[in-house]
A and B are shown apart, each in its own frame.
Chain A
Amino acid sequence: MTEPDMLILRNVQKTFNPGTTMQKTALSGITLTLHKGDFVTVIGGNGAGKSTMLNAIAGTFPVDSGDISLNGREITHLPEHRRAIFLGRVFQDPMTGTAASMNIEENLALAIRRGQKRGLRWGISSRERALYREKLASLELGLENRMGSRVGLLSGGQRQALTLLMATLKKPELLLLDEHTAALDPKTAEKVLRLTNQLIQENGLTALMVTHNMKDALALGNRTIMMHEGNTILDLDAEQKRHMTVEDLLAQFEKVSGRELSNDRMLLTR
């Protein structure tokens, strides 16, 4: 039995700086369907369009053509803040996902109201605080005792963990993870990745995770897609993933794309 469709990208195209020397086709008619509960890892070389795809779904910019639907809803022309109602997002840069000058509990309070009307009630209730304390404790970073600290004082790993918590505090229909461990040291990256997997499993989330680490891409999730020049060139299901090694994957890439996979970050982590 297959789950219902959660995300459908239909022939989505995006070209940056059209008509200039900087012209770059980032998405070249990509079509992709995610079922409810899918945890899809995305890999690909430099400029393959991985981040662009995530940003197109999130509404950071309008796409040139094609359409995007989420949980049966057409969202192609919805502005970014309206799509946010359905989406949880974690960015590559730990600075992006949180407000540095606000404290931990204020950031969480902003996140739990994602998609709700923000009125003139007090910004944080004491009932919420208990929930935040409990959720923060589950991160095992000691943040539950620092709820009044400004987020700017936290380390990159702590900020990413907090952003993950914020993205899932109010259950999103789709979780978008854009190389969210790339800026972290290996040990912290592993910790954040474990937390990511745990949150996705516990909440039964549908997720799309871009990663530069092929091992992680194969080990996590129930599906892996590889992108090249703005489109998918490889789509592996859970069964295929199980029998695939990083070397196999690289060989596959060369076969399908006709060239060697180049990804600056990947070279460093292999």
Chain B
Amino acid sequence: MNFAQLLNQLPGAVAQGLIWGVMAIGVYITFRILDIADLTVDGSIATGGAVAAILITQGVHPWLAALIAFLAGMAAGAVTGVFHTVMGIPAILAGILTQLALYSVNLRIQGIGTDLGSRANVPLSINKYKNMLVSLRNVGSFTLENPIWLMLLITAVLIGLMYWFFGTEYGCGLRAVGANPQMARAQGINTNSGKLTGLMISNGIVAFCGALMAQYQGFSDVSMGRGAIVIGLAAVIIGEVIFGKLFRNFALKLLAVSIGAIIYYLVIQIVLWLGLNTDDLKLLTALVVALFLAAPHWKTQVRIRRTKGGEKL
């Protein structure tokens, strides 16, 4: 691949980053606000894609399809929430269970209307469904059809909505649930229902992202969510590392997450251009995220060692 080809790939990377950024904002809600690493997302993003794809092939308007995908994601989040709060299963395990169950559910959703009743892939050609919201076909164009414009708008609206929601009395209560559950209970907040609500909203957003992604790439696939949580975390962490000192405001922090996702995809394009094999991408992503997750831990270790040295005097 030469440099001109790389430049050609960049708009696609930005569009993809913006779409994944929507999911990453969902991940931010559980990971940073509720302090839960929710692995449901690998399943719920595909659920969103499956629901939207099936509805669109049935003639439902893509916007409505995306909205219903959002609701389906909320239902998936509710399952994890019930596993965690009512059944007392640790949050990570609860997410893994839902994710696994969703694989079957997603095959079934995609199989609606087929003889087998289950299907791994639903094609969504832009030629056939011309009213789809975003398509990678238009990513190089300079018209309003370019998916980047709509994605910018969606990102802005989503950040605005989240800023409003987490600023309300209820949203402040949710933040307290994540920040200090004991304090939240002492202030009369039901931490269980808070976690449930948070998981539902987060997975709703993730599934909405899945709906956009299926339209963008022109198909929905049952395994399209594999590793999604890691990409979401990568976006959150990249955003924090680069803008953490600069962005204090909540809306800006969410913006940083979205930019983090764009940077992630730009970097991916560049390493691919430099000759990395696509098959090795997930390995690279996992290692990079592990390094960034380790950074705060290592920082404190260094600090401890320094204080020890100081006491030797």
Contact = CB atoms under 8 A, between A and B. Distances in A.
Interface in B172-210: 172-173, 175-176, 179-180, 182-191
A91 B184 CA distance: 13
Contact of B167 (A91, A122, A166): A122
Given A121-B168, A122-B168, A123-B168, A99 B176 contact: yes
Contacts of B173: 110, 113, 118
The A interface is mostly helix, strand or loop, or mixed, namely loop
A213 interface: no
Contacts, number: 86
Nearest to A99: B179
B11 interface: no
Interface residues on B, range: 20 to 34
A84 B185 contact: yes
A29 B165 CA distance: 46
A112 B169 CA distance: 11
> Which of A79, A80, A124 has its CB near the most chain B CB atoms (within 10 A)?
A80
B169 A99 contact: no
Interface residues of A, number: 34
A81 B185 contact: yes
Nearest to A109: B172
Interface string A73-100: 0000001111011010101000111111
Given A110-B176, A113-B169, A118 B183 contact: no
Given A96-B182, A99-B180, A114 B188 contact: yes
10 contacts: A80-B185, A81-B191, A89-B186, A99-B175, A99-B176, A99-B183, A100-B180, A101-B175, A113-B173, A120-B165
Interface of A: 58, 79-82, 84-85, 87, 89, 91, 95-102, 106, 109-111, 113-116, 118-124, 166
The 5 A-B pairs at the shortest CB distance, nearest first, are namely: A99-B179, A84-B188, A123-B172, A118-B169, A99-B180
